[in-house]
Structure 1
C-alpha cells in the first residue's frame, strides 16, 4: 500500500503541447495499456454538469457536498489515445479535468539504481489546473509524472528522455 508522488513536468496554456508531451512520455514506458486510461472532471454548477454529461452520456457520476456547495465528479474510461485526447479537449472547454494512464511500467534506470516500476507508474494531463486533484482553476494545463515516493531522480530522468524537466515540487498522489 502507498501513494504515488506526482512531479509536474510541463505547464502550458496549449493543450495540444501538453498532449504531445504525454504521448512522448508514454513511448518511454516499457509498456502501457491504452485501456488503462480514464478521465475525471468536476461539475460545479448545473450548466457544467449538463455539458459534461451530454459530451459523455456513458459517464459515471457521483455527487459531493451539501445542496448549496454541491459538485459532481464525472468519470469515464477511454479505450484508446484518440478517444482520450478528444474527450479531454471537450471537457477542458467546460471545467477542470484530467486524463490518467495507470497501467504503465517505467523502465529500469541502472545508472540511478532504479529497477522497473509498475506499482507507482502513472502519467497524467490535468487541464485548467496545477494540481492532480484539480482543486483550483489555473489558466494552464499540467503534465505530471507519477512515481514511487523518493524517486525524484526517476522523474527527472523520465522528463529528460523527452526534452522536458521537472518544473515544480512533487505533490502527494493517490
Structure 2
C-alpha cells in the first residue's frame, strides 16, 4: 500500500531536453513496462488539435465535470476534434486526455504537441539493486516521469519549465535519487513528493 516518493532531478525550459533526460533515466530501469502513460490538459483549440493528431484513438474529456442545467445529467465531451469547427471546440475547453501507448511509439510526437497546459509522460520499471546505496528496486513504485509546464507530480504548481522526476519506494530513497540525478549531471532539486 502507499504511494511512491518522487524526487525532482532535472529542470529545464526546453521540453525536448526534459524528455531526452527522462530517456537517459529510462535506460537505467530493469524490466521497464511495455507501456507509457501520457496525460495532458489542453487549454487552447490549437493544443487540442495537435494532441488529437498524435493520439487519434484517445478519449478526450472535459477537465472539470459538466452537468446539463436542465436534466442535471453528466455531460461528456462528444465532438470529433478533427472535424469540429473552432467555434464548437472553444466552449468545450479545457479538455484532458489520459492514454496508454506502447513504449517508443508516440512519445516524441507527444512532446512536440505539448502546449500551454500541464502534461506528463510516465514509465514504470524497477531500479536495479544497488549495494553502494543499500537500495533495492520495487516494481510497484519505481519509474521515471517528466512533467511539462509543471514542477510537481500532482499537477498543483503550473510553471514555465519542465521537470523530470524519479519515483522510488514509498519510504523514499534519497541516496538512489541523488545517484540518478548525478547520472544527469544534476542534483535532487527538492523534497520528495507523493507519487503514483
| Partner of residue 25, structure 1 | 25
Provide the TM-score with structure 1 as the length reference.
Answer: 0.84
Residues paired across the two proteins, number: 171
Q: Are positions 1:37 and 2:59 aligned together?
A: no
What is the 5 A alignment of 1:40-55?
40-44=39-43, 48-55=47-54
Provide the TM-score with structure 2 as the length reference.
Answer: 0.76
Runs of 4+ in 1 over 4 A off after TM superposition: 44-51, 66-71
What is the 5 A alignment of 1:87-126?
87-90=110-113, 92-102=114-124, 104-126=125-147
Runs of 5+ consecutive residues of structure 1 not aligned to the other structure: none
After the TM superposition, which of the residue ranges 113-122 and 66-75 deviates more from structure 2? 66-75
Runs of 5+ consecutive residues of structure 2 not aligned to the other structure: 68-90
Distance 1:61-1:126 versus aligned 2 partners, 3 A rule: same
Deviations 1:102-128 (A, max 9, x none): 2x1101111222222222101111111
Equivalent of 1:156, from 151, 173, 178?
178
CA distance in 2, matches of 1:17, 1:41: 18
| Partner of residue 56, structure 1 | 55
CA distance in 1, matches of 2:27, 2:49: 35
3-state SS, counterpart of residue 132 of structure 2: helix
| Partner of residue 65, structure 2 | 65
After the TM superposition, which of the residue ranges 2-11 and 62-71 deviates more from structure 2? 62-71
Q: Are positions 1:138 and 2:159 aligned together?
A: yes
Contact preservation (8 Å) 1:108, 1:117: no
Structure with the higher fraction of residues in helix conformation: 1
Distance 1:72-1:122 versus aligned 2 partners, 3 A rule: same
3-state SS, counterpart of residue 106 of structure 2: helix
Contact preservation (8 Å) 1:52, 1:94: no
CA distance in 1, matches of 2:115, 2:95: 17
Contact preservation (8 Å) 2:54, 2:109: no
| Partner of residue 71, structure 2 | none
Equivalent of 1:127, from 139, 148, 151?
148
Deviations 1:23-45 (A, max 9, x none): 11112112313x32020011346
- State the 1:78 CA deviation: 2.4
